[in-house]
Structure 1
Amino acid sequence: MVQVDILGHRAYRGLYPENTLLAFDKAYEAGVDVIETDLQMSADGIVVVNHDATTGRIWNRDYTIGETKWEELQTLRCNDPKFADQRMPSFVEALKWAVEHPRAKLMLDIKFTNDKIILIKSFADMLKVKNDLAYWKKHIIWGLWTVDWYAFGVQTGILNDFPLVCITLSLHVAKSFVEYSKKLDNPHYKLSGVSLHFVSTWSDQFQQKWLPYLKENNVRIYVWTINHEIDFKYCNALPISGFVTDYPLQARSAISKYKRSDTVFQKPKIGSKEGLRFYAFLTLYSWIAQLLFSPWSQYKVIGQWSFSYLMLKLLKLIHFL
């Protein structure tokens, strides 16, 4: 039976300001197995913990992180009045927090919009906080979006013996990671897992084709971002290793209701209320997988906004992402 991990999405995004040390504390208290968090890099090369490339959504002034020095970024405060004391942590601060919390494990979602030097900087930060590679290999999971970053991590030696996960919306991108790992044929750089949108696992194609393929290649499956009890029921019926969620405590409770040995994946009736949502999400995922990864998806359609940018905005609006 596959062990199921709970991964706190941006630590504990559902109840606390995402990716703050407060959210880290609360996720740890909730007993998450892994804290999923995001890295960006400032103009002066400081690795910081933030999901977006800009600061306006969470913080009280809007900057582009890659164009702003850390000296300015660390003056920002959370724009939610209830948490006005919270600020953006540097990666060094997050690592120091992790060392102080011995059970903590971090999955680093590193945005491919950064320069690849962020991998080198992040690696150096680990050694600066604790000069013990064996320790970090037990507490850090690298999460990468494109296979060229995987290749860079191999060429530089940074990924040596670290767990590595491909994060993607596309099953074909996931396959490119698996095939690259097979081509390397090096146990020190083997792909550990793939982190997929949870709806992708509902399709017949995934269950008949991709599940056996991933199992054959000993690749663990994580799904994101899953928050509704009915979605845990569907996904817990599959051999999924980890659930990335905004609400860790509710997730643990939901999973406990559906023992894998007693749960069979069963699609809802198409005419039911739940069936309408289920099949609408499946159709939407199919469109996304085709459209977002097509060559023309980056063409600007409104000012500086590309089709893929507008599509992602819509998906966030309807809580698909």
Structure 2
Amino acid sequence: MASSSTAPAPAKADSAAAPLSSSSSSSQSVLPFMTSSTTTSPVIAGHRGFKSQYTENTLLGFGKCFESGATVIETDLWLSSDNVIVISHDISTKRVFVDQDGNETDYKITKTPFDPILKNLKTKEGGYPLLSFVDVLQWFKKYVDATGSNEHKLQLDIKKFNPAKITKYLINDLLKVHNDISWWYHRIQFGLWDLSFLKFLNQNESFQDKFGIVNEFGCSQFDIFHISVNWRDSINYINYNYYLDETTPQDRIKIKLTGVSLLYIATWSTEFLTKFVPLLQIQNLKLYSWTINNKFQFEYLVKVGRLAKLVEYGVISDHPDVMVKYKKHEDSDSDTDVEVVNSNEAETKQQQQQKPLVTYESKNFYYNEDGELNIGLTWNQKLLSWGFEKLMSLNGSQRKITSNAQRFGAQIDENHVDEVKPNGIIVYIFQKCQKYGIF
């Protein structure tokens, strides 16, 4: 855990909503599900902590992520066979973890008990323990207590091949660490790969008393993001929000989508700008993008977020320290700029207020004559976007939404998991591209 002496100073959000009354149950049912941002855009999130420099999904990496100035830690969740939520990107332990004697392991987490097996594993690099979700929550709670921060968050990537009941255990773990669910609302972000999780939150009665309590920031639920490599898939989630508005009784709490988290290359198309961004605007949804590791990617996301006036936009990066420097308009390779911030913070803040975060002005208007967001895409962006769409179509990622997914009222079995085997060649190509910074 990062010590309190090195923790970044918490920042109050300028746009935080005023406290709202929760005296009437009928008024709760029509409250905005998320009205504001408790962080300043662009939000900087560390991918698996601080993946570029420290072992992924470890307390060391999480602490270094916050020390870098990032305000969000993105991490990954699986439910073990004995119903313990554990932290791992992969469903298999093979790539990252070994046993106590250093021997390679290959456990499928969802089929393996935490006690006595998974809890005794450690990372190949550094020998750090495989963490439970409670371990991370306890660390995070101590961090917040030490800093008094209201802007630091955990972004939870809930993998598709978990059963829906993981959401029950997730809530239980939150309350186990701090028994006030509204305290967690603006500090926890759910990242969902499958609509069944969101359906389950709305269908299961056990969640009705966990949401709808309006906290001091005007939040009555957690942020809930759809994580996707294809913005077209996110439209089904947006439609589900409309379905909830039309069908939910006045005395029942609605738990809704509040944002979308997209692979950055999926945003590099005219169709994304002209068809999908307006949907984000209509429903006041947030936009995060991953995995952003260079200045060009960063500046493009900021252009979209600023020109579209999105309520919040953020980058998820292996290099949170570099992204923080971009946000502060510093040269990522300059140590001098960092020293200036430390020695003359007041002057630096004044300079930041006098100039825009990113210079993107041009002779073009912000919107063209057809009323479309006017952000010029390079030929390289268009080519990569087209190539990525073709690659994903080979893996079935461009398939139409199934009739079952469109049945918003279909009941969710909390134990069911769709076992789908991905195309091994496509997965290999995708992972290689990610490794070399292409995806």
Tell me which interval the TM-score lies in, with the shorter structure as reference length: 0.7 to 0.9
Letter in 1 for 2:326: A
- The root-mean-square deviation of aligned C-alpha atoms, in Å, is 2.4
Counterpart-to-counterpart distance in 1, 2:108 and 2:259: 31
Counterpart-to-counterpart distance in 2, 1:191 and 1:136: 17
Counterpart-to-counterpart distance in 1, 2:187 and 2:283: 23
Deviation, structure 1 residue 33? 1.6
Counterpart-to-counterpart distance in 1, 2:189 and 2:138: 16
Of residues 251, 263, 272, the one that matches 2:360 is 263
Of residues 230, 237, 246, the one that matches 1:177 is 237
Match status 1:164 vs 2:164: no
Deviation, structure 1 residue 279? 3.8
Counterpart-to-counterpart distance in 2, 1:235 and 1:312: 26
With normalisation by structure 2, the TM-score equals: 0.65
Does the C-alpha gap of structure 1 residues 176 and 295 become closer, same or farther in structure 2, counting only changes over 3 Å? closer
Deviation, structure 1 residue 101? 1.0
Match status 1:89 vs 2:131: yes
Give yes or no for contact 2:78–2:158 (8 Å, CA) kept in 1: yes
Question: How many residues matched?
Answer: 304
Counterpart-to-counterpart distance in 2, 1:307 and 1:93: 31
Does the C-alpha gap of structure 1 residues 175 and 294 become closer, same or farther in structure 2, counting only changes over 3 Å? closer
Match status 1:219 vs 2:285: yes
Unaligned runs of 5+ in 2: 1-14, 16-39, 99-104, 212-220, 331-355, 362-374, 401-418
RCO (CA 8 Å, sep 6+): is it higher in 1 or 2? 2
Residue matched to 1:113? 161
Deviation, structure 1 residue 309? 3.8
Residue matched to 1:101? 143
With normalisation by structure 1, the TM-score equals: 0.87
Residue matched to 1:77? 122
Residue matched to 2:62? 24
Counterpart-to-counterpart distance in 2, 1:66 and 1:33: 30
Give yes or no for contact 2:327–2:357 (8 Å, CA) kept in 1: no
1:121-150 CA distance string (max 9 Å, x none) = 111111111111111112111111121211
Residue matched to 1:203? 269
1:224-235 map, 5 Å: 224-235=290-301
Of residues 413, 425, 429, the one that matches 1:314 is 429
Letter in 1 for 2:117: E
Give yes or no for contact 2:302–2:358 (8 Å, CA) kept in 1: no
1:281-315 CA distance string (max 9 Å, x none) = 2122222453432569xxxxxxx995534312211
Question: 3-state DSSP class of the match of 2:304?
Answer: coil
Deviation, structure 1 residue 238? 1.1
Deviation, structure 1 residue 13? 1.0
Match status 1:293 vs 2:397: yes
**Aligned residues: percent identity?**
29
Question: 3-state DSSP class of the match of 1:266?
Answer: coil
Residue matched to 1:300? none
Of residues 51, 54, 76, the one that matches 2:92 is 54
Counterpart-to-counterpart distance in 2, 1:58 and 1:307: 20
Residue matched to 1:236? 302
Question: 3-state DSSP class of the match of 1:238?
Answer: helix
Counterpart-to-counterpart distance in 2, 1:255 and 1:194: 21
Does the C-alpha gap of structure 1 residues 289 and 215 become closer, same or farther in structure 2, counting only changes over 3 Å? farther
1:66-124 CA distance string (max 9 Å, x none) = 222212112111112xx12x111100111101100113311111011011111111111
1:137-148 map, 5 Å: 137-148=185-196
Letter in 2 for 1:179: N
Give yes or no for contact 1:199–1:281 (8 Å, CA) kept in 2: yes
Counterpart-to-counterpart distance in 1, 2:383 and 2:77: 32
Quick check: which has more Rg, 1 or 2?
A: 2
Match status 1:66 vs 2:170: no
Give yes or no for contact 2:223–2:257 (8 Å, CA) kept in 1: yes
1:270-289 map, 5 Å: 270=379, 275=380, 278-289=381-392
1:3-55 CA distance string (max 9 Å, x none) = 21001111111111111111111111112121111101112111101111011
Counterpart-to-counterpart distance in 1, 2:270 and 2:399: 26
Give yes or no for contact 2:45–2:315 (8 Å, CA) kept in 1: yes
Of residues 155, 163, 178, the one that matches 1:130 is 178
Counterpart-to-counterpart distance in 2, 1:261 and 1:253: 12
Give yes or no for contact 1:13–1:247 (8 Å, CA) kept in 2: yes
Counterpart-to-counterpart distance in 1, 2:387 and 2:326: 25
Give yes or no for contact 1:7–1:244 (8 Å, CA) kept in 2: yes
Structure having the higher helix fraction is 1
Give yes or no for contact 1:39–1:110 (8 Å, CA) kept in 2: yes
Letter in 2 for 1:178: I
1:249-274 CA distance string (max 9 Å, x none) = 11122344494563154333x4xxxx
